[in-house]
Structure 1
Amino acid sequence: MENKSENSKATKANQVEDSRIAAVRDLIFGENIQQYNSEFEDVFNRIKALRDETQKNLGESVANLENKLADLESLMDHKFQDLNEDLDKKLADLDDEKADRKKLGKALEKIALMLQE
């Protein structure tokens, strides 16, 4: 019990001493501390505003990049389809040319047979 009462007396004495120190500190540095607190608050508000603006800009940039990637993907698909169509056309033309050679070969064979008769 004695220990508890001694502890509470020591705690009260520390609180009184702390309040006296705080009063002296406020007398000496009161205006400066208020000015510093005001400046710190301004700095914190600026940081918050910049962070919010940065987040907003980052979100817009990501959305812009996503749109550009979607456009690029669409363009690539379109180009791929065009190239496939061109390739199919070229292959069809080659097939026609080969068919023409076959026809030419048969025609030459007929001419050769006619000349032999």
Structure 2
Amino acid sequence: MEKKLEKSKAPETTQEVDSRIAAVRDLIFGENIQQYNSEFADVYDKIKALQNETKSNLSDAISNLENKLADLESLMDHKFQDLNDDLDKRLADLDDEKADRRKLGKALEKIALMLQE
């Protein structure tokens, strides 16, 4: 039983000592601690403001990059379509030129036949 009483007295004594130490600390360093707490609060506020600003800047940069990528994709699609159209036109022109050669060849054969007669 005595051990139980001693154990219950020990926390009370510790709390008394802690409160006395806190009181002495507040008397000696009270002003400085308040000033430090105020400065720390200002630093934490600045850090939070910078974090918010950084998040905002990051989201702006991401949206800007997404817009530029979309513009680039659109430009690439447009250029690809232009090149595809140009290729189709050149192929059609080439087919026409070949068709003209065939016609020319047939015409020359007719002329050759006419000359042989």
Q: Distance in 1 between matches of 2:81 and 2:115?
A: 51
Amino acid at match of 2:37: N
Q: Distance in 2 between matches of 1:48 and 1:2?
A: 53
* Percent identity of paired positions between Structure 1 and Structure 2: 79
- Structure 1: runs of 5 or more not aligned: none
Q: How far apart are residue 104 of structure 1 and its match?
A: 0.7
Amino acid at match of 2:77: D
Query: SS at 1:82's partner residue?
Result: helix
Amino acid at match of 1:96: D
Q: How far apart are residue 5 of structure 1 and its match?
A: 1.6
Match of residue 90 from structure 2: 90
Amino acid at match of 2:61: S
Q: Distance in 1 between matches of 2:63 and 2:6?
A: 66
User: So what's the TM-score if we normalise by structure 2?
Assistant: 0.96
Number of equivalenced pairs = 117
Q: How far apart are residue 87 of structure 1 and its match?
A: 0.7
Residue 60 of structure 1 pairs with residue 77 of structure 2: no
Moved more, 36-45 or 72-81: 72-81
Match of residue 25 from structure 1: 25
Residue 72 of structure 1 pairs with residue 80 of structure 2: no
